[in-house]
Amino acid sequence: MSLEFGEKHFSSAQPESAARRIVTFKVGDRTFGIDVGMVREIKGWQATTPLPHAAPHVRGVLNLRGVILAVYDLRTAIGLGVTDATATHVIVVVDVEDKTAGLLVDSVSDIVDVPVSAVRPVPDMERDEHGLIEGLVLLDSDIVALLDLAAVVRDGGGDVALKTARAA
């Protein structure tokens, strides 16, 4: 199972009337989202090769048509434990800064357009320790946490994981 996405990228300098197109996905009962322009494809679960000395939520690496990419277990990154991956899980392949990486999630839900003005800041209470959330959006009765993918990769030892993968 693989779904390809286009190369359209959205800028944070959009006017207030503009909309962000967001891919939503589930990890447990929580809903997360990322800009569709960052998504390269969505593929079915594929076993990864673990890397020594990687951060706990770096699941490992895999070969995606000749590209070695690090796969991050989002469940572990947000503190819910390690994903017991099955055939129903998916890997969301994303472009983050100058890297390609994979996010292991339970399922992909939808692609929605959200007005930029609907994105709310994360409350100033005790923020998540890694700053993985860049904003919140209310969709129907569901709160969607917009991920800061650069923080997921950076805090996951992404540079170490990718350098180790390139050396392998």
pLDDT one-digit tens code per residue, 5-14: 544 343 444 4
On whether the CB atoms of residues 152 and 129 are closer than 8 A, the answer is no
For residue 117, the SS3 value is: helix
Query: In this predicted model, which residue has the larger pLDDT, 155 or 37?
Result: 37
Q: Compute how many other C-beta atoms are within 10 angstroms of the C-beta atom of residue 154.
A: 16
Confidence at residue 125, expressed as pLDDT on a 0 to 100 scale: 58
Q: What is the pLDDT of residues 96-136, one digit of tens each?
A: 988 899 999 999 999 999 999 999 998 875 555 457 899 99
The strand order across the sheet containing 133-139 reads 107-115, 19-27, 30-35, 142-147, 133-139
Question: What is the distance between the alpha carbons of residues 110 and 32, in angstroms, rounded to a whole number?
Answer: 11
The residue extents of the domains of the chain are 2-167
On whether the CB atoms of residues 101 and 118 are closer than 8 A, the answer is no
The reply to whether CATH 3.40.640.10 applies to domain 2-167 is no
Length of the chain: 168
Indicate whether this model's pTM tops 0.85: no
- State the average pLDDT for the chain: 82
Question: What is the distance between the alpha carbons of residues 65 and 52, in angstroms, rounded to a whole number?
Answer: 23
